[in-house]
Structure 1
Amino acid sequence: PQRPVGMGDVPEPCPQAPLAVLSKVELRVSCKHLLDRDTLNKSDPCVLLLMQSQGQWMEVDRSEVIKSNLNPVFAKIFTVDYYFEEVQKLRFEVYDSHGQAGVGTHDDDFLGGMECTVGQIVAQKRVTKPLFLKYGKFAGKSTITIISEEISGNNGYVELAFRAKKLDDKDLFSKSDPFLEIYRIDDDRSEQLVYRTEVVKNNLSPIWEPFKVSLNSLCSCEEKRKLRCVVWDYDSRGKHDFIGEFFTTFEEMQKAMGENKVQWDCMNPKYKIKKRNYKNSGVVVLLDLKIHRVYSFLDYIMGGCQIHFTVAIDFTASNGDPRNSCSLHYINPYQPNEYLKALVAVGEICQDYDSDKKFSALGFGARIPPKYEVSHDFAINFNPDNDECEGIQGVVESYQSCLPKIQLYGPTNVAPIITKVARVAANEERTKEASQYFILLILTDGVVTDMADTREAIVRASYLPMSIIIVGVGNADFTDMQILDGDDGVLRSPKGEPVLRDIVQFVPFREFKNVSGAETRSCL
Structure 2
Amino acid sequence: QGGGGLRCRQPAQTLIVLFYCLFFHHFSLFTLICFSSLLQFGRTEVIDNTLNPDFVRKYILDYFFEEKQNLRFDFPTYFLLFFQHFLLHCLQDFLGQMFCTLGEIVGSPASRLEKPLGGIPGKKCGNVILTAEELSNCRDSATMQFCANKLDKKDFFGKSDPFMVFYRSNEDGTFTICHKTEVVKNTLNPVWQPFTIPVRALCNGDYDRTIKVEVYDWDRDGSHDFIGDFTTSYRELARGQSQFNVYEVSRSSHSSLLTTQQHVTLLSFSSTSLHYMNPYQLNAYAMALKAVGEIIQDYDSDKMFPALGFGAKLPPDGRVSHEFPLNGNMENPYCNGIEGILEAYHQSLKTVQLYGPTNFAPIVNHVARYAAAVQDGSQYFVLLIITDGVISDMAQTKEAIVNAAKLPMSIIIVGVGQAEFDAMVELDGDDIRISSRGKLAERDIVQFVPFRDYMDRTGNHVLSMARLAKDVLAEIPDQFISYMKSRGIKPNPAPPPYTPPGHTHHHTQI
TM-score (norm 1): 0.46
Bigger Rg, structure 1 or 2: 2
| Higher RCO (CA 8 Å, separation ≥ 6 residues) | 1
